[in-house]
Amino acid sequence: MIQRIKDKTQLTLDAMEGQKRFYIWITCLLSMILLCGFALLASLVLSMEILEFSIKIPWAGMIAAYVFLVASGSGLCIINALGPVFGMHRYEIMGKRIAFLSLTLIVFGMLFIVLHLGHPERMPIYNAISPNFRSAISWMGALYSGYLMFVGLELYLLIRPDLYKKAMTSNGHIKTILTILTLEKFKDSYVVKLLESPKCHQVIGTLAFVAGISALSMLGSVFAHSESRILWYGPYYPAYFIVSAIFCGYAFLIIMTIISYKTFKDPMPAEVKSLIFEMAQVLALLLAVGLLFIACRMALALFNPLLQGPVLLLLTGPFKIGFWGGEIMLMSILSVFVLLWGSVKKSLAYVLSGSVMVLAGAFVMRYQFVVAGQIFPNIREGLPSYLPTLMEIFVLIGVFATFFLVYTLGEKYLSLKETISCSMPEKRNGVKGSIQFNRRER
């Protein structure tokens, strides 16, 4: 009896400690969001130039962050398709987390574009009344809009059973809202039955995959079509964008999964842990392929007099520290050894550290790619400052903080924890049954 009271007391204390950490985390995120609001308000009152908007380098940190987040979300789109599209069903247990993470990454990546534009309201208006079908940017926006629609529908279908369970245990207006969201009143209609069919889920996953990878290729083409920007122009970056997007997506997925389980102190299922170590090995392989892309790009450029200028900015010029330290050592070499060591030793800490290295190096890579491409050959005498200003850093921190806030709330209230499927060999009425359960509920 005494031991039972002690156990209950310890559980209560752990719950209170968890709530305390949660509110501290939310307070820190809200503080960073306030800094972002201050920077945006100052840019409207004073001038947009405080956000490093200049004639010489019009695209800086906010465009780099847009490419970083949107490409990572598109990489998660490809990973999400491994289950329903390509038949790698072990990835389906992480379907809710992948879909939600992909959706939030792309939405907040696009938020950087909205904040970067002086009049963002003009974009949908003129796209509707005077679309330019020869514009890569126009096609990119249309494809990403389609992808968000498909992945949003896919996420809804995945979390609909959890919403139904919460509706059954809720009361009042919350129960009414959840019942409406689950479409329970229309459960016998043809549309709801069609949405519940496995075939429909596979079709939606396929459409999301096609729209996502097309939008990602179009994002690379936005830069590759610029003939005056020698570093960007050519067929290299559309292909490299796909490879880099996938390994950034893997890194984001590994980091968010491990941190979620550690934060909420939930025991990680063996199936999820095994999949994380498998993803770490795949991530190391993709990083090696990406390093081969970089080496081929640099070697071919050095033998071409027209391409030597922008490449030397990275190899020996003012961008060499970020290139050799961030893109090569941190993202492509050290992280590979750490990831492989973690997967061999079955250490989540090493896998988490390697994934953080990948994202840190990838952000440096995106930033230098965007900025260095605007310098040569347009700016020949005197390199202007390419470091972000304090106000731009406030905006970057604030948008990333908002992303983490939304993901934290989604993790807490949308039941993104992995669902382990177990196929039962028993037969009932001559038909094999299949049982799905959540490890936390079990």
Which pLDDT belongs to residue 204? 87
What is the per-residue pLDDT for 308?
82
- The one-letter amino acid at 35: L
What's the pLDDT band for 5 if we cut at 50, 70, 90? low
The 10s digit of each residue's pLDDT in 388-433 is: 778 888 889 999 999 999 998 888 888 787 766 544 333 333 333 3
| Contact (CB, 8 A) for 331 and 358 | yes
Q: How far is CA 194 from CA 1, 182, 200, 202, 412, in A?
A: 53, 14, 7, 12, 29
Q: Is residue 236 part of a domain?
A: yes
Within a domain: 149: yes
What CATH number does the domain containing 107 carry? 1.20.1630.10
**In a 10 Å sphere around its CB, with 0-12 CB exposed, 13-18 middle and 19+ buried, how is residue 75 labelled?**
buried
Question: Tokens 């939008």 map to which residue?
Answer: 215
Q: Is residue 425 part of a domain?
A: no
Mean pLDDT confidence for 279-297: 92
pLDDT in the model for residue 428: 38
> What digits encode the pLDDT tens for the residues 126-152?
777 887 888 888 888 888 888 899 988
* Residue pLDDT, tens place only, 80-95: 888 777 778 888 888 8
Residue 305 is assigned to a structural domain of this protein: yes
Question: Does residue 439 lie within any of the structural domains?
Answer: no
Is the CB of residue 418 less than 8 Å from the CB of residue 267? no
Q: How confident is the model at residue 380 (pLDDT cuts 50, 70, 90)?
A: low
**Residue 183, domain extent:** 2-417
Q: What pLDDT score does 194 carry? A: 79
pLDDT of residue 431: 37
109-113, 284-288, 301-305: which has the highest mean pLDDT?
284-288
pLDDT the model gives residue 12 = 62
Residues 149-164, mean pLDDT to the nearest whole number? 86
Distance linking the first and last C-alpha atoms of the chain: 25
Q: Is residue 431 part of a domain?
A: no
> At residue 306, does pLDDT exceed 90?
no
pLDDT band at 202 (very low <50, low <70, confident <90, very high): confident
Task: State percent of the chain over pLDDT 90.
Answer: 27
The overall average pLDDT reported for the chain is 81
- State yes or no: pLDDT of 441 exceeds 60: no
**By mean pLDDT, which of 113-122, 139-148, 317-326, 398-407 is the weakest?**
113-122
435, part of any domain: no
Mean pLDDT is highest, among 20-34, 42-56, 109-123, 175-189, for: 20-34
Q: Does the pLDDT of residue 436 top 50, yes or no?
A: no
Closest CA to 396 of 89, 60, 41: 60
Number of domains making up the chain: 1
Q: Is residue 432 part of a domain?
A: no
Token duo for residue 182: 């689950």
- Which pLDDT value is given to residue 391? 83
| For residues 262-289, average pLDDT | 89
Sign of the CA dihedral with 33 first, then 34, 37, and 42 last:
negative
Judge whether residue 275 has pLDDT over 70: yes
